Amino acid sequence: MRKTLSLAIVLAGLAAAPAAAGDAEISAAQSTIDQQLQAFLADDEAAAYSLAAPSIKRMFPSVESFMAMVEGGYMPVRRPQSYAFGKTHELSPTSIIQQVLLVGPDGKNYEAVYTLELQEDGVFRITGCSLRASSALST
């Protein structure tokens, strides 16, 4: 009986370990998004750009080109009245998909779906964002 109990405790500990690691990774990815949204709100364009992954920086090689893209198609992300994290999907320990529910500057609801990848420096950076009008309730 004692060996069975010990084995059950070890197995329970192993089962809990990936969830704890996943929580830390999700929290780190959400922190990156939050930092970028706060940088947008503070008009700190360089800080917002610094949170983009290298693949995004190759497409938009300057802060100015990046901000032109954001302001041209992502105003709810650029100037949210409010935002809250929604569903998260961990594709792997280094790849996260994060839903963000936003109220845009126009007062309408939007859903942004971010993809993030863990970089060599240990920081999750944003690899993409899709935006669409949402029927979700405002937060």
Q: Which of 1-15, 54-68, 76-90 has the lowest mean pLDDT?
A: 1-15
Q: Domain residue spans in the chain?
A: 2-133
3-state class (DSSP) for residue 4? helix
pTM score above 0.85: no
| Amino acid, single-letter form, for residue 66 | F
Once rounded to an integer, what is the mean pLDDT over residues 15-28?
66
Are 76 and 102 in contact by the 8 Å Cβ rule? The answer is yes
Amino acid residing at 31: S
Identify the pLDDT of residue 136. 58
Label residue 2 by pLDDT band (50, 70, 90): very low
* Residue 47, CB-side half-sphere exposure with 13 Å CA sphere: 14
Is pLDDT above 50 for 8?
no
The stretch 71-79 carries a mean pLDDT of 97
Under CATH, what is the fold of the domain 2-133?
Answer: Nuclear Transport Factor 2; Chain: A, (3.10.450)
Burial of residue 124 (CB within 10 Å: 0-12, 13-18, 19+) is buried
Q: Which two tokens stand for residue 59?
A: 């497409």
62-69: long-range contacts, CB 8 A cutoff, minimum separation 24: none
Q: For 77-128, what is each residue's pLDDT tens digit? A: 999 999 999 999 999 989 999 999 999 999 999 999 999 999 999 999 999 9
Q: Which tokens in the block code for residue 49?
A: 């750009």
pLDDT of residue 134: 84
